[in-house]
Chains A and B, each alone.
Chain A
Amino acid sequence: MATTTLEPRAGSYRRSWVIDWLTTVDHKKIGILYIVNSFLFFFAAGILALVIRSELAVPGLQFVDQDTYNQAFTMHGTIMLFLFIIPALSGFGNYIVPLQLGAPDMAFPRINALSFWLLPLGGLLIFSGYLFGGAAAEGWTSYTPLSNRAEGVGTDLWIIGLTLVGTASILGAVNFIATIFKMRAPGMTLFRMPIFVWTILVTATLILLATPVLTAGLIALFIDRNYGGSFFDPSVGGNPILWQHIFWFFGHPEVYIVILPAMGVVSEVLPVFSRKPLFGYKAFVFATIGIGLLSFSVWAHHMFTTGAVALPFFAFMTTLIGIPTGVKMFNWLATMWRGKLTLATPMLFAIGFLSMFLIGGISGVMLGQPPFDFHVQDTYFVVAHLHYVFFGGAVFGVFAATYYWFPKMFGRKLNEPLGKVHFWIHFIGFNLAFFPMHQLGLDGMPRRISDYDPNAGWTLLNFASTVGAFMVAVSVIPFLINVIATFINGEPAGDDPWEGNTLEWATTSPPPAYNFDRLPPIHSERPLFFLTHGHGHAAARPADLEEEEADGPAATDDKPGDIERRPEDLV
């Protein structure tokens, strides 16, 4: 598409590059800030993972003492979840959602900047415990009364930092919801929104409902620790189980906060690289909403062994989540069925997501069965499960998104051979690191232990897992080389390098500050596909298209008789 660049008025002020990025309210720059910030925290938390895995490679304490180990896994979990995966996907949401909606920016650009800048602040506060006598060391779940009794300011800094991060995501969620409901391009009904936007909408709703609960719980814990509150400490009449309810009432929807946007990314990538529409778009939307609703009724499956929850109810609701998830999986498979698959790096990561998230989903249904959970709760089986969901699922989604949208963000395509090297080392390393943990858990190795008995028979699998973890670390090297090399001398991407379906591909790469000169008409969830191919059949109607295009975006409001229908509606 032709674009015109708007030049600032002659003689207008010039700002330094640094000030420009620090003060920006452009959703695209904020999106990139989110993503860069997330990757920095990813590397930091990844180093902590290597500390953990090094210590566990063989029995005995070789590298760190018990407290350091406990701090390492606490920080690893906290940082990975709250400062890498969630913000990384929010970052892509920030960059892509306004573009996919055909909007010039987010609804509240300044709030957008605020919700980003709270993140590094919160993250650094959480990390700063290391400077003041030791970081928090109670696990990312910070169960009471252990966290009531933990000494040192590390835990207080953890609480304050997380409160800021939580506030940031609440603000971000409000912004997403407002943007999605109020700023869609003319003609884009809810059921013509790209599926990624749908997943962000449901995610934002979950954040809005769940995160304030965690934030309130954190503040209660802070009061308990510092001002003699008695919410959670049983020695003064508090209830330690209450914290678990509060934490998991947030914590389980949080799993979907993490995974839904990754599902959205995969649902964008699979159709484009299969050259087919997403199979069962509406079913997919309803499944997404269904997962969102169910996510609020399953939290206590994290508490089966506390003896304090209604097992049949929570087991039933948990098992039900398998249904919409299964529907999604079938729709993804059907999208590839009879398609024409291009196995570029984004597609590899998307297929990697399908095959790895499947394992996490299956082990999740297994863990939802209370008798089995009695055996493997708090063992490495849970560690394996959650990494297949968060890493095999969400992180594969983050990399799929990175390779997929990088050309849009920077105008250059990441190098394909390097991308494939990255994928395969990452994929094999990931499985080597985490698949053996299923067996360790079945054998009864508890999580969060710094050492284990050499006679327990856990050594070989732990060693394999450590090798896998280092492979994952090594896989980052080709990725970083790829990013740097692409900035220096990457292949120019053009506006639409992948033959995309959605509006972000209808503008330049990178897009101008105001995003669009003009918008194509929107008659389906694939406006770009419609533009190039008509309705997916040879029977494109160039005459109509030209007429609509000539009217420009201002005139794309659908007149009553003018609404296009998708073929299946006509059948």
Chain B
Amino acid sequence: MLRAGLPTLLIALLASGCLLPPQPATDAGQDVFNLYLIVLALAAVVFLGVEGFIIYAVVRYKRQPGDDVLPEQHHGNNLIEIIWTAIPTVIVLVLFVFSMNALARVEARAENPGATIVVDGFQWNWTFRYENGAQVNSQGGNPPDLAVPVGEPVRLVLNALDVNHAFYVPQFLIKRDLIPVGENGTPNELEFTVTEAGTYAGQCAEFCGTAHADMVFTVTAMPRAEYDEYVEALASGSPPPQPGGGDCETTIAITANNTQFDIDAFEVPADTPFCIEFENQEAVPHNVAIYDGGEALFTGEFLNEPGSITYEVPALPAGEFRFICDAHPQAMVGDVTVTE
């Protein structure tokens, strides 16, 4: 008798201890959270009722040794069948109504969102593009950070560059898939209002290949003024595309395609500025950045589309460094040797 009860009791204890999502940081998330509480309450009633009956039946109706008398043979009862068809019907219909109410609020679209930001998802990183042309990529192995204004509706245009991905911030309690739609399709959108300033961890939630687990990002929600300042600084901070053929003594040519660099090492003289002619041959964001361990010595501008750019790299001291694509720090890596 106890044997059947204990694990069930264990489950119940586990359940009462937690079984809640994180405190929502968005208004849509609050609606999801409230709906979940209703769902959880109904679930708890059904769970305890049925499991309770199972335990009761096992204890109460256990056949005693030597008892050969048949119990009464109930074959069924139509009235009872009707009643217990009605019970789950009522439960699920009530649930459906609550659920549709919450859905309407979660899916509500603002006429003029406070910010519309394009999210490019690709294997296995993110690019966030703002209305003023500024963009953010991951840098030096740090996840890219999406800045959003707090307290205003934010609309994300979810653009998949290769395979399916999903934009998911657990504390927002919502997610939406990024699906490659080809030239004529309309990408998905996701809208939410972050209610509390802060930084939130997010990651891709739709399996997208080898390094799916590494496809992380952060969202930083900040007051409007701060947000405007940040995005503006971002835009002015990114240098305008430089015309090719700069005035360089040493020029290194690097090409990116299929998430690979065509070379895995190059050598330049120390203490002399040099140029990198970088060509991106695919519609996936790439750049070239040079690192000394975790410290960025040079960060080249991203090319999101096929095209070329000439980076003017400042003089480097002699030593061994790495060059990587900031969006693909695992797959696109090479060695830089700076010689005296």
Contact = CB atoms under 8 A, between A and B. Distances in A.
A66 B210 contact: yes
Contacts of A282: 76
A551 interface: no
A369 B39 contact: yes
B74 A276 contact: yes
A217 interface: no
A371 B163 contact: no
Interface stretch (B15-23, B228-236, B264-272, B310-318): B15-23
Given A138-B207, A305-B177, A279 B75 contact: yes
A109 interface: no
Most buried by B among A277, A279, A444: A444
Nearest to B216: A453
Contacts of B14: 435-436
Given A240-B164, A319-B95, A374-B106, A334 B80 contact: yes
A279 B74 contact: yes
A280 B81 contact: yes
A456 B216 CA distance: 12
Contacts of A342: 63
A449 B213 contact: yes
A-side interface size class: 35 or more
B35 interface: yes
A275 interface: yes
A333 B50 contact: yes
A145 B96 contact: no
B56 to A, nearest CB: 9
Nearest to A282: B76
A341 B18 CA distance: 35
A145 B61 CA distance: 55
B273 interface: no
A306 B73 contact: no
Interface in A288-326: 305-308, 311-312, 315-316, 319-320, 322-323, 325-326
Contacts of B240: none
Interface residues of B, number: 93
B211 interface: yes
A339 B53 CA distance: 13
Contacts of A279: 74-76
Interface string A500-520: 000000000000000000000
A374 B174 contact: yes
A240 B179 contact: yes
Contacts of B61: 274, 336-341
A568 B8 contact: no
Contacts of B166: 305, 377-378
Given A275-B70, A276-B71, A351 B47 contact: no
Contacts of A276: 71-74
A378 B189 CA distance: 18
Nearest to B167: A305
B304 interface: no
Given A305-B177, A327-B81, A371-B102, A355 B19 contact: no
B110 to A, nearest CB: 17
Contacts of A38: none
Contact of B205 (A139, A339, A341, A378): A378
Contacts of A453: 201, 216
A365 B95 contact: yes
A567 B50 contact: no
Contacts of A340: 61-64, 67, 69-71
Contact of B50 (A67, A358, A372, A452): A358
A438 interface: yes
A126 to B, nearest CB: 18
A240 to B, nearest CB: 6
A306 B174 CA distance: 12
Contact of B99 (A315, A320, A435): A315
B112 interface: no
Interface stretch (A160-168, A206-214, A424-432): A424-432
Contacts of A541: none
B296 interface: no
A451 interface: yes
14 contacts: A138-B209, A234-B185, A279-B76, A305-B166, A312-B100, A322-B91, A326-B87, A338-B71, A370-B99, A370-B103, A374-B173, A444-B21, A451-B213, A536-B73
Given A355-B51, A443-B170, 17 more contacts: A70-B207, A138-B209, A283-B81, A307-B176, A307-B189, A327-B84, A333-B54, A336-B61, A340-B61, A340-B62, A343-B62, A351-B4, A362-B46, A371-B32, A442-B19, A450-B212, A567-B73
Interface of B: 3-4, 7-8, 10-11, 14, 18-22, 29, 31-32, 35-36, 39-40, 43, 46-47, 50-51, 53-54, 57-58, 61-64, 67, 69-77, 80-81, 84-85, 87-89, 91-93, 95-96, 99-100, 102-103, 106, 162-164, 166, 168-171, 173-177, 179-182, 185, 188-189, 201, 203-214, 216
Interface of A: 66-67, 70, 137-139, 143, 145-146, 149-150, 234-235, 237-238, 240-241, 274-277, 279-283, 305-308, 311-312, 315-316, 319-320, 322-323, 325-327, 329-331, 333-334, 336-343, 351, 354-355, 358-359, 362-363, 365-366, 369-372, 374-379, 424, 427-428, 431, 435-436, 438-439, 442-444, 446-453, 456, 533, 535-537, 566-568
